Structure 1
Amino acid sequence: MRFISSQFGGASFSCLTLFVLLLLHFCHIVSIVGQKSDGALTVVENPDGGERVGGAEEEVTVDDDDDDDDDEGDLEVVQPTEQWQTLKPSHAVPAGSRVRLNLQTGEREVRLGDEQLKYWTQEHREKEETQSSFSPDELKRAMKKIKEDLNPASKDTQRQDSVESKYRPLEELKRDMAQLDLLVETDVQIMRRLLDQFNSSNSTTEQKMSILLELEYLVHQVDNAQSLCSMGGLQFILEGLNSSDFRLQESSAFVLGSALASNPVVQVKAVESGALQTLLTTLATAQPLRVKKKVLFAVASLLRHFPYAQRHFLSHGGLQVLSDLFREDRGGILRKRIVTMLYDMISEKELISQVGLDSVLDAAHQERVRQYSKVSLQGELFEKGWCSLVPQLLESTEHDYREKALRALLAMAPVCLDQYRSNGSLLDSLLSLRDQYQEMVQSEITLGEENGYFAEIVQLIDALHVKMK
């Protein structure tokens, strides 16, 4: 009985021992499974917002607080990349890195974290590598460029070489021009050549008209007009005025008027050459309208701001020639030009007389005042019947013609006022015109123009009407 009991006691001890071993082994297995058992399924959060299932690895992002090895100063820090690399037990990783346990190999692996990957892209690294890498040849060229920039003499040489490459040498240009037989003419040389051609017996009328057209363009310059007179060109132009060809007369008068405009030197030489008598003779004879228009232009250019010529104009019957021309003209174009010229002459004398009241004036101005005092234009206008001629221009339908007539009538009022008052048709015309232009003024005001052109005409009518009362 005792033997049997001992056998049963040994068997119980063996079973107990086996049970304890199995329990320890189970606890060990449970602890392994708590980390990650081989072949277990894990759920990893998808960055896109979903979930994905993996079977052999787990990924963990290492934070600053998770680094348990900070107190171990002998650990080697590994710099991660965008590719997974194996971690040894003695390795440490920077914060923000992504660490995983490869359950197939049982080794830890590391790579850059998601935030780091946003910056360390392949394109960014290639760009930095490109910017930070220089070949030896590039470094040599850069050093050479720095030395050249610091050398002023080198800069001047390069600038000179650049200029020389753009332009040809002067000697080469002269040689090429000599080979081409080119001739560069001044304005004076051109005018001399044109005058020689104009005076040539072989020149046709068309050629002479072309020459006069070129001369008219040149004489707009004051110096050219004076040079033309000094080389005898004025005489050729006056001969063109005496031509039997109307086209040459028109072109010659055009050239003469352009040369006389605002050029006192040419004005004096023209009077001395007898241009005034030639122009008046041309106006007094039967000529086409286009010729008389250009001749009137030349006469106005000759008389403007030239009291000496104005006095000769009056003494040679100029006003009588103009009055005959005024009566013959039915279209009004010549009438307007004549009235405008007379108004300018009256205004010049009045302006000079008003300025002459100042005692502090130079001798030249005092001489002009003296010369204008000898021009008795107002008295001549009264004697030649212009007090009754100018009002006829008010009958025109053109606003410009009426304006010129009203201004001339106001300018002649000191000598013509009695005749204005005795002229019943003039008063009727003024009243009719005032009513007509008052309606136009209302239209201007409606359009936002309070002081328009028609309002100015109404002011002229009112001013003349007040003088006549």
Structure 2
Amino acid sequence: MMTTRNLPPSTSKRIKMVSLVIVILILPIGVADRAQETSALTVTQNDGMDEDVQVDDDLDPEDLEVFQPTNQWQSLKPGQAVPAGSHVRLNLQTGEREAKLPDSIKETTGLNRNKVTAKDSHSFSAQELKEALKKLKEEAISSADEEAQAAVRSQYRPLEELKKDLEDLSAMMETDFQVMTRLVQQFNNSQASLEEKVTALLDLEYLVHQVDNAQDLISLGGLQLIINTLNSSEPILQEHAAFVLGSAVSSNPRVQVEAMEGGALQKLLLLLGTDQPLPVKKKALFALASLLRHFPFAQQHFLKLGGLQVLTALFRSRGSESLRVRVVTLLYDMIIEKELISQSGLDAVPDASHEERLRQYSQVALLPLLSEQGWCNLVPELLASPEHDMREKALRSILVIMTPCRDFYRQDSGLASFLTSIQEQYTALAESEREHGEDDGYFGELLALVESVLGKLR
């Protein structure tokens, strides 16, 4: 191999110069290749028609800056992309890479220069690419939203059409007042069948549970019509009329007053004091209890009209055993009402009418009449029932009538013996409740009632 050592100095110097020129000529190709590899922007041409642009979002935006060559050699920044076809060299004096346009392309200025460079290099800035991608995404989302909205609209009817249908429906709907008017007319129609009248009464009973509807029944003349039906010759009409009346007067003072003025109390007592089917008496007793509750004026007239004698006979009559606990419950409620208002008043804050209520309740002398009419002996009969609920009502009633009946109960050895036996029964049941974690169970409550009665008899 020939070396430069054996050559003359002039020849050796010429060889070195030729080598350097070759290196400089080869260098632009490698530099351009590396620039394209490290560039964040890659442009591929397909027959001059299609362009695929790939953007690496992870690179720094500064790395995406494309060098704009001119006809003069300019220094390249690190990582700066060089458009294809540019001349690149390494400045041996400064050590920097430099590039310029090929000699065949003349330098242009201003907007024309940017257009030429963009057209020849197919290069775009990072901001231009991001804005283009964002616009494409927004257009895609907008198109998808429009399609989704169109699909939803196709599944539902237009709002205006729905409004029209609702208006038509509202025009067809009846108010409660209109329904009650129609029912009263149907019931009062002489051509209506017995079944149609019963249906009208059932529908009225459902509506009059509301306070306003019950009061509207008065203005329609329906309340008096119902009261008069208590005298009907059809037991089924008497039964359902009493049911409607009881529901209408329940916790409704205005309707209670109207019913009293319409003669409802007398007609109910007549049903309870005469031979009537058991269903009729059940509904009549329900209506009587609703009429008397929290209405001392009606309670006074009940006693004056012999209502207690009617209940006494009902309690003792055969075939009415199922009504006994209801009768005792009604009497118990009347006694408790008077005691409560005498102690603290039924009203949370006494008003101007409180004294008048006290005066009216003071005239309801029920306890002495209970003792006179044998209720001291009748109430304990409920204790013989195996039903715990009936025993509870009996024990509570015995306690409230204890004052006029104490002497009678103390002389009744059978009552004390029976109370002792059920005390043992409820002691065992209450203990079983406590074992299961029920410290305040039902049988514990019954045991307390029994012990309270026994304590008052000692």
Q: Please, what TM-score do these two structures have when normalized by structure 1?
A: 0.65
Per-residue CA deviations over 1:93-137 (Å, capped at 9, x if unaligned) read 99xxxxxxxxxxxxxxxxxxxxxxxxxxxxxxxxxxxx9684798
Structure 1 ranges of 4+ moved more than 3 A: 131-145, 169-174, 329-332
2:359 counterpart (353, 370, 377)? 370
Provide the secondary structure at the position in 2 that maps to 1:168.
Answer: helix
Query: Structure 2, unaligned stretches of length 5 or more?
Result: 3-26, 39-77, 80-128, 144-155
Query: Structure 1, unaligned stretches of length 5 or more?
Result: 1-20, 25-72, 82-92, 95-130, 146-162
Instruction: Report how many aligned residue pairs link the two structures.
Output: 338
Distance 1:394 1:172 in 2: 63
Provide the secondary structure at the position in 2 that maps to 1:311.
Answer: helix
Provide the secondary structure at the position in 1 that maps to 2:437.
Answer: coil
Give, as a single letter, the amino acid of the residue that structure 2 aligns with 1:301: S
1:465 counterpart (414, 430, 454)? 454
Matched with 2:435 is: 446
Per-residue CA deviations over 1:296-341 (Å, capped at 9, x if unaligned) read 1100000000000001001111111101111115664211101111
Distance 2:319 2:424 in 1: 26
1:338 aligns with 2:327: yes
Larger radius of gyration: 1
Give, as a single letter, the amino acid of the residue that structure 1 aligns with 2:159: K
Provide the secondary structure at the position in 1 that maps to 2:276.
Answer: coil
2:288 counterpart (272, 290, 299)? 299
Provide the secondary structure at the position in 1 that maps to 2:232.
Answer: coil
1:313 aligns with 2:302: yes
2:161 counterpart (163, 168, 179)? 168
CA contact (8 A) 2:198 2:237 kept: yes
The Cα of 1:165 is off from its aligned counterpart by: 3.5
Matched with 2:201 is: 212
Give, as a single letter, the amino acid of the residue that structure 1 aligns with 2:242: A
Alignment RMSD (CA, Å) = 3.7
Provide the secondary structure at the position in 1 that maps to 2:161.
Answer: coil
User: Structure 1 residues 329 and 355, CA, compared in 2 at 3 Å: closer, same or farther?
Assistant: farther
Provide the secondary structure at the position in 2 that maps to 1:363.
Answer: coil
Per-residue CA deviations over 1:219-241 (Å, capped at 9, x if unaligned) read 01101101101221112112221
Provide the secondary structure at the position in 1 that maps to 2:401.
Answer: helix
User: Structure 1 residues 396 and 259, CA, compared in 2 at 3 Å: closer, same or farther?
Assistant: same
The Cα of 1:186 is off from its aligned counterpart by: 1.7
Matched with 1:423 is: 412
1:351 aligns with 2:340: yes
CA contact (8 A) 1:260 1:302 kept: yes
Distance 2:166 2:235 in 1: 47
Mean Cα displacement is larger for which, 163-172 or 213-222?
Answer: 163-172
Distance 2:134 2:404 in 1: 101
The Cα of 1:429 is off from its aligned counterpart by: 1.5
Matched with 1:394 is: 383
Distance 2:202 2:260 in 1: 23
Give, as a single letter, the amino acid of the residue that structure 2 aligns with 1:428: S
The Cα of 1:166 is off from its aligned counterpart by: 2.4
Provide the secondary structure at the position in 2 that maps to 1:220.
Answer: coil
* Percent identity of equivalent pairs: 52
Distance 1:424 1:143 in 2: 94
User: Structure 1 residues 313 and 138, CA, compared in 2 at 3 Å: closer, same or farther?
Assistant: same
User: Structure 1 residues 143 and 404, CA, compared in 2 at 3 Å: closer, same or farther?
Assistant: closer
Give, as a single letter, the amino acid of the residue that structure 2 aligns with 1:404: K
